[in-house]
Chain A
């Protein structure tokens, strides 16, 4: 019994040990599995999990940066920032969203519609992201909120800054800012990291063009939060960096002055330094209030703006397209001289109209001007003279000169609202209209009608480049201290009248691009423009400034909206008798002062009638103002080569 029992025990014991061995082997396998997992989690994928852990741990609240300011040439802020009072709501900190809104409604004046849209927004975003309930409270509302703050858990009163514009004279050139839209986020890469509730972006004008630099760096507050979203401690606060400040070439004083003159007219004025291309004034009217957009534009005001047929939102100076009318005659004449089509003293007899292949081409003066040469043709703006010049010149040579002087292409880069206009020629018509060019159209082009389309700033550039003696300039609106080759060249020429170098070599030494073949031709045109403004019979003689300091040389223009019928022509219907929308656009270009040109100007008054009556008087006032401020402008920033 014992022996069998003992044997049994031994066999059993061996069996147990054998099976335990198998178990031990399988344990080892399992341990290897666990070890492998530990290695994979803590060594191989450790960095991934560290990131995830930090993502758990930290939560960031972004702070909207302060937008940079924009100054004028005299360091006046034309777009700046002001303190605003806002209230934000952090949904996860509230006990009941409904209750908070109910309370807020009794304290502030919030519409149900606004509450509805806020709730929709809250539902879309993370519960810890703040939402702006009201971004521009007045002081009494703000203090009332602060009084009730203890009952409003989750509501945070915030003192922030917002864009403010001193006046609306520069509304178009500055543009406006408004809330970031979905489209902005999609199209503008620089906004990707910068999207913060309450942030505004530039929508038009300089605000849009400079947006990337002027917007600033987003700041953030990083908090450690626990699993329930409670802030445990502040880890880091990075104050955002305010955006870059910009200085422009604009003169706020002139801007205001021009805006006042233009009033409610649908018009634009552009003033440019003819040597360095500095844009002194760029005004479009009627203006809108850019401040109205900062906190979201009121629907009524918006409707009022878009339904206004004088188009207050459009920047007419760079995006308004007008046939240049008679102002183009300067270029037609120049082109003819350059191409040696006509000599200045060659004459054409104007009988009031000419006929070509049975079609009648009328001069604006029914009785005709009589015998015209180039100087008198420009002075009195004789259409028949220019029909003849254009006919001989041909549209292709005309368009070449026009393009050289700045028509048909954008003047300022990166202004998304700027348009390039049209300088027609035979190949252009073939390409865009699909038809051959008619000679009759050449005649229309010769007086700036037909397919010709130009913006006021192009006309201003054209005038400036004639006024400075025919050299290319690059118009600019941002203040730029770089040395001005054109002025240095002129200074050099004045100081060394007996310079042995040939003119073209001298020009290339100063890195200038001449637009002429023979500079004498430019002088002829300038002289003709002088006669147009300052000699009896000139189209803008009535608006002349006799003071030598201000005397300007200009060219009027009227661009036809609707062709006159024979009946109207017979009845000698005046522009004032037509319906507003059928009246001609009034144009005027000029440079001043004649003795030593400094500035060029273009004035366009939509449906103003004739250039001499509607546009030239405006130019007269503006030129005087600009020239009065010239010495001040010279002294404020020490620019190289300023004094000639």
Chain B
């Protein structure tokens, strides 16, 4: 076991550069550039605030991704718990020092940006549980006493985020955690039990929901019922996507978005805007890019030798897939509007930061694929 470690340590910078997954890098870069054009379009075809800061953020965090790629996988393994706790403390900090905007308290004001720790927690929880399940022996996975900690580390941040309130992000964080547990071999019956408990607790949970959240769920069930009220977003988004047709209305010609019929076009509905302007083929192009990214992450998981790396990569790939699918399902009217950004495409620093962090760790799994973590 010592020999491979020494091999890994002896990797030259050139070796490291060569073992970077360039397909993944270029997919990310392509998506980033596409997102810049989309953002340019949301600004009405002018180089304005959103476009500018999106471009800056993309390149800053892309650079961060590149640097993080060279951090040894052992470091990520060793600091997993710490990273989780840092993010958890930030999340608790939000509760006390957070900025409130449009009714929910989600952000911490840093000097240069407003940080949304719940986005980071998506990665933090996956890291924590990947390490946890990497360390415990396979026989123990389904022992009750080994289930308490994962449940606790999952529920605690999720509850904090729900209370912000931010149902969408809370659900996405929980999904990430559950995927790790599933991949680690937690039995189906535990998921079944927890689903049952979740459903039985649902009425109580609903009573805690804010009216706007309740109406979102009702709206999803029947958007046409109140076309000018809560169903407006879904209807307008469907109109925009549908009217794009096969080839779209053309760059900067998305009437739904530039006449302001499209809500939240910078963030959650960026796919709608793109789809309206570039049509079905544009949508397929975006889907293919995301598919490529997800499959490349899975490929890294296949190549990496440590179970920590595998657990992390598979979970992150699946979580990334879910982020994309939930966002698209939402704008396509398949899911309720829960408020979840489209990775890389959507405007938003914290989301970009979290995704780039996740991708950085993935790339480090690729570069140090043969390095044992403990």
Residues on A lying within 8 angstroms of B by beta carbon are 2, 8-9, 11-13, 15-17, 19-20, 23-24, 27, 30-31, 33-35, 37-39, 41-43, 45-46, 48-50, 52-54, 56-57, 224-228, 232
Do residues B243 and A49 form an inter-chain contact, with CB atoms below 8 A? yes
Of A27, A43, A52, which contacts B321 at CB under 8 A? A27
Do residues B332 and A37 form an inter-chain contact, with CB atoms below 8 A? yes
Instruction: Report the bound CA distance from A392 to B270 in whole Å.
Output: 98
Query: What 7 new A-B contacts, CB under 8 Å, besides A34-B325, A50-B245, A53-B255?
Result: A16-B314, A23-B318, A37-B332, A38-B241, A39-B280, A42-B275, A57-B259
**Chain A residues closer than 8 Å to B256, beta-carbon distance:** 53, 56-57
Question: Interface segment, B20-28, B60-68, B178-186, B357-365?
Answer: B178-186
Do residues B1 and A46 form an inter-chain contact, with CB atoms below 8 A? no
**What are 28 residue pairs bridging A and B, where the CB atoms are less than 8 Å apart in the complex?**
A11-B138, A12-B184, A13-B307, A13-B310, A15-B184, A16-B183, A23-B314, A27-B318, A27-B321, A30-B321, A31-B287, A34-B287, A34-B325, A37-B333, A38-B275, A38-B283, A39-B280, A42-B280, A46-B243, A46-B244, A46-B245, A50-B245, A54-B243, A56-B256, A224-B255, A226-B260, A227-B260, A232-B259
Instruction: Report the bound CA distance from A24 to B240 in whole Å.
Output: 31
Given known contacts A42-B245, A49-B242, A56-B239, A19 and B182 CB-to-CB distance under 8 angstroms: yes
Instruction: Report the bound CA distance from A33 to B324 in whole Å.
Output: 13
Across chains A and B, the number of contacting residue pairs, with CB separation under 8 Å, is 126
| Residue of A whose beta carbon sits closest to that of B254 | A53
**How extensive is the interface on chain B, given as a class?**
35 or more
Interface centre among A13, A38, A54 (most CB of B within 10 A): A38
Do residues B311 and A16 form an inter-chain contact, with CB atoms below 8 A? yes
Of A9, A23, A33, which contacts B307 at CB under 8 A? A9
Instruction: Report the bound CA distance from A9 to B287 in whole Å.
Output: 35
Interface centre among A2, A15, A41, A46 (most CB of B within 10 A): A41
Encoded as 1 (CB less than 8 Å from any A CB) or 0, chain B from 252 to 264 comes to: 0001100111000
Do residues B334 and A33 form an inter-chain contact, with CB atoms below 8 A? yes
**Chain A residues closer than 8 Å to B241, beta-carbon distance:** 38, 41-42, 49
Interface residues of B in 289-338 (CB under 8 A from A): 291, 294, 298, 301-302, 307, 310-311, 314, 318, 321, 325, 328-329, 332-334
Of B1, B242, B244, B332, which contacts A34 at CB under 8 A? B332
| Residue of B whose beta carbon sits closest to that of A41 | B242
**Chain B residues closer than 8 Å to A43, beta-carbon distance:** 245-246, 280
Of B179, B242, B291, B311, which contacts A46 at CB under 8 A? B242
| Residue of A whose beta carbon sits closest to that of B301 | A20
Given known contacts A20-B314, A38-B284, A31 and B291 CB-to-CB distance under 8 angstroms: yes
- Asked whether B279 is an interface residue with its Cβ less than 8 Å from the other chain, the reply is yes
Instruction: Report the bound CA distance from A52 to B224 in whole Å.
Output: 13
Interface residues of B in 1-38 (CB under 8 A from A): 1
Of A11, A17, A45, which contacts B242 at CB under 8 A? A45
**Chain A residues closer than 8 Å to B240, beta-carbon distance:** 49, 53
**Chain A residues closer than 8 Å to B291, beta-carbon distance:** 31
Of A9, A19, A35, A226, which contacts B185 at CB under 8 A? A19
CB distance from B227 to the nearest CB of A (A): 11
| Residue of A whose beta carbon sits closest to that of B314 | A20
- Asked whether B103 is an interface residue with its Cβ less than 8 Å from the other chain, the reply is no
Interface residues of B in 144-181 (CB under 8 A from A): 179
